[in-house]
Amino acid sequence: MRKLIVAGNWKMNTSVAEGVELAKKVSDYVASKNLPAQKQVVIAPPFTHLAPIAQVINADKVILAAQDCAATTNGAYTGEVSASMLKGLGVKAVILGHSERRQYFKENSEILLKKIKLALAEGLDIIFCIGETKEQREAGANLYNNVIKAQLVDTVFTLTPEEFKKVIIAYEPVWAIGTGLTATPEQAQDIHAMIRKAIADNFGQAVADDTTILYGGSCKPSNAAEIFAKKDVDGGLIGGASLKADDFAKLIDAR
Ligand code: PEP
């Protein structure tokens, strides 16, 4: 079943105490709303916050996600956190392929596919981010559509249809992340439709119809409802606005 999801990517923000308070507010808000089963709320706090947050949220109401996982299972990899360690904390999903990881940590499709496989082996859902840079957007639709398709073809399109069911796609134009620039609802719809068609071409129409495709990039209470209303937009991956409980609540209500 295609889900409607509002997910918060906190990035490297908040102290543990602030994060626990924020998570509790989100959990209480969602609990007060009695959302339909199709609608889900996800939060992705920093690694250090996951264990205490798992203790305070209602796991039936809010899905706990991590922002990354290691490309290896265990061993001498200083600083890394494995998918199985995350699972042990009550984490249910992991964000992979975020443009900040691609840009600052040089994560390419080969590394990402390893992470995807390890996360899937632990039963985690994947929120897989794709999107074009400003330069690629300016080079025209032919180029940016191919860039986005290649990000899929080299990674999640190599999975089996059964594995792919655990994948949520987040279309995040890099030029819109944290910049205050947002894709217009029409721009978002065009790309989401193109992504869904690419999924249909690879896995068949039924799988494509069931795939959740989120929009991310400077989503806020003032612009979310219009973007989320588009036919192929199934919710949002939210950065900055997920750090304020009130704004995040409005975004939850916008979908
Ligand atoms: C993100 O980084 O996933 C994101 C969408 O950030 P922002 O909402 O701050 O643009």
Q: What long-range pairs does 26-29 form, CB within 8 A, spacing at least 24?
A: 26/57, 26/62, 26/245, 26/248, 26/249, 27/56, 27/57, 27/58, 27/61, 27/62, 29/245, 29/249, 29/252
The CATH code of the domain that includes 15 is: 3.20.20.70
Nearest-atom number in ligand 1 for the CA of 236 is 5
Pocket test for ligand 1, best of 218, 223, 242, 247 (most atoms within 8 A of CB): 218
Domain residues for 162? 4-254
Average per-residue pLDDT for the chain:
97
Q: Say if residue 178's pLDDT is above 90.
A: no
Residue 131 CB–ligand 1 contact under 6 Å = no
Residue 145's pLDDT is what? 97
pLDDT tens-place string over residues 108-162: 999 999 999 999 999 999 999 999 999 999 999 999 999 999 999 999 999 999 9
pLDDT digits (tens, 9 = 90+) for 209-229: 999 999 999 999 999 999 999
Could you tell me the distance, in angstroms and rounded to a whole number, from the CA of residue 176 to the centre of ligand 1? 8
If one counts the domains in the chain, the total is 1
Nearest ligand 1 atom to the CA of 129 is 3
Share of the chain above pLDDT 70, in %: 100
Residues 6+ positions from 191 with CB-CB distance below 8 Å = 145, 148, 171, 173, 183
Please give the pLDDT value at position 180.
Answer: 86
